[in-house]
Chains A and B, each alone.
Chain A
Amino acid sequence: MPLLAARDLHLALPDRSARPLFGRPPLTPILKGIDLVLEPGESLGIVGESGSGKTSLGHALLRLLEPTGGTLLFEGRDITHLPEPQLRPLREGMQFIFQDPLSSLNPRHRVEDILAQPLLAFLRVKTRKEARIRARELLERVHLPAAFATRYPHELSGGQRQRVGIARAIALKPRVIVADEIVSGLDVSTQAQILLLLKELKREDALIFISHDLSVVRVLCDRVLVLQQGAVVEQGPCGQIFARPQHPYTRALLSAIPLPDPETGWIDRDDLPVEVRP
Chain B
Amino acid sequence: MNPLLSIRDLALRIGGQPILRGVHLDVHAGQVAGLVGESGAGKSMVGRVVLRLQPEDAHVDRGEVAFDGRDLLWMSEREHATFLGRDIALIPQNPMTALNPVARIAPQMTDVLRMHMGMDRDDALARALESLHDVQIRDPERVLRQFPHELSGGMRQRVLIAIAFACRPKLIIADEPTTALDVTVQKQVLRLLKRLQRAYGTAILFITHDLGVVAKLCDTMSVIHAGRIVEAGPVAQVFLAPAHAYTRALLAATPRYDRPGEALQPIPAALTEQLWNEARTLDTGAA
Rounded to whole angstroms, the CA-CA distance of A262 and B272 in the bound complex is 26
Verify if B255 is at the interface (C-beta below 8 Å from A). yes
Contacts of A15 in B (CB 8 A): none
Contacts of A64 in B (CB 8 A): none
Contacts of B266 in A (CB 8 A): 189-190, 192-193, 196
Looking at chain A's contact residues, the main secondary structure is helix
Q: Which chain B residue has the least Cβ–Cβ distance from A189? A: B267
Q: A49-B182, A219-B264 are in contact. Are A262 and B235 (CB under 8 A)?
A: yes
Q: A49-B184, A266-B216 are in contact. Are A188 and B236 (CB under 8 A)?
A: no
Verify if A276 is at the interface (C-beta below 8 Å from B). yes
Q: Which chain A residue has the least Cβ–Cβ distance from B251? A: A260
Verify if B100 is at the interface (C-beta below 8 Å from A). no
Contact at B183–A49, with CB atoms within 8 Å?
yes
Verify if A50 is at the interface (C-beta below 8 Å from B). yes
- Give which listed residue, A188, A191, A217, A258, contacts B215 with CB less than 8 A: A258
Contact at A259–B215, with CB atoms within 8 Å?
yes
Looking at chain B's contact residues, the main secondary structure is helix
Rounded to whole angstroms, the CA-CA distance of A92 and B251 in the bound complex is 39
Closest CB in chain B relative to A245 CB, distance in Å: 10
Verify if A152 is at the interface (C-beta below 8 Å from B). no
Q: Which chain B residue has the least Cβ–Cβ distance from A218? A: B257
Rounded to whole angstroms, the CA-CA distance of A34 and B217 in the bound complex is 38
Rounded to whole angstroms, the CA-CA distance of A217 and B236 in the bound complex is 27
Q: Which chain B residue has the least Cβ–Cβ distance from A183? A: B255
Contacts of B153 in A (CB 8 A): 50
Contacts of B257 in A (CB 8 A): 214-215, 217-218, 242, 254, 257, 259
Contact at A218–B260, with CB atoms within 8 Å?
yes
Q: Which chain A residue has the least Cβ–Cβ distance from B153? A: A50
Verify if B38 is at the interface (C-beta below 8 Å from A). yes
Contact at A212–B182, with CB atoms within 8 Å?
yes
Q: Which chain B residue has the least Cβ–Cβ distance from A217? A: B257
Contact at B260–A242, with CB atoms within 8 Å?
yes
Contacts of A256 in B (CB 8 A): 183-184, 186-187
Rounded to whole angstroms, the CA-CA distance of A217 and B255 in the bound complex is 9
Contact at A188–B183, with CB atoms within 8 Å?
no
Closest CB in chain B relative to A236 CB, distance in Å: 15
Verify if B152 is at the interface (C-beta below 8 Å from A). yes
Q: Which chain A residue has the least Cβ–Cβ distance from B191? A: A267
Verify if B42 is at the interface (C-beta below 8 Å from A). no
Closest CB in chain A relative to B170 CB, distance in Å: 22
Contacts of B212 in A (CB 8 A): 257-260
Rounded to whole angstroms, the CA-CA distance of A262 and B251 in the bound complex is 13
Verify if A37 is at the interface (C-beta below 8 Å from B). no
Rounded to whole angstroms, the CA-CA distance of A257 and B254 in the bound complex is 13
- For residues 12 through 41 of chain A, which have their beta carbon under 8 Å from a beta carbon of chain B? none
- Give which listed residue, B190, B213, B214, B250, contacts A188 with CB less than 8 A: B250
- For residues 224 through 255 of chain B, which have their beta carbon under 8 Å from a beta carbon of chain A? 235-236, 239-240, 249-251, 253-255
- For residues 176 through 199 of chain B, which have their beta carbon under 8 Å from a beta carbon of chain A? 182-188, 190-191, 194
Verify if A120 is at the interface (C-beta below 8 Å from B). no
- Give which listed residue, A188, A217, A262, A263, contacts B38 with CB less than 8 A: A188
Contacts of B250 in A (CB 8 A): 188-189
Verify if B209 is at the interface (C-beta below 8 Å from A). yes
Verify if A253 is at the interface (C-beta below 8 Å from B). yes
Verify if A239 is at the interface (C-beta below 8 Å from B). yes
Contacts of B85 in A (CB 8 A): none
Q: Which chain B residue has the least Cβ–Cβ distance from A258? A: B212
Give the most central of B235, B257, B267: most A CB within 10 Å: B257
Closest CB in chain B relative to A231 CB, distance in Å: 17
Rounded to whole angstroms, the CA-CA distance of A252 and B185 in the bound complex is 11
Verify if A144 is at the interface (C-beta below 8 Å from B). no
Give the most central of A219, A257, A258: most B CB within 10 Å: A258
Verify if A195 is at the interface (C-beta below 8 Å from B). yes
Rounded to whole angstroms, the CA-CA distance of A238 and B257 in the bound complex is 10
Contact at B253–A189, with CB atoms within 8 Å?
yes
Contacts of A242 in B (CB 8 A): 257-258, 260
Closest CB in chain A relative to B92 CB, distance in Å: 18
Contact at A218–B255, with CB atoms within 8 Å?
yes
* Cβ contacts A to B, 26 pairs, < 8 Å: A50-B182, A187-B209, A188-B38, A188-B253, A189-B253, A191-B253, A195-B264, A212-B182, A215-B256, A218-B260, A219-B264, A258-B213, A258-B216, A258-B217, A259-B257, A260-B239, A260-B251, A260-B254, A262-B235, A262-B240, A263-B215, A267-B190, A267-B217, A272-B188, A276-B184, A278-B185
User: 3 tightest CB-CB pairs across the interface, nearest first?
Assistant: A258-B212, A189-B267, A192-B266
New A-B contacts (7) at CB < 8 Å, excluding given A258-B217, A261-B215: A187-B39, A195-B264, A258-B187, A260-B214, A261-B239, A262-B215, A267-B190
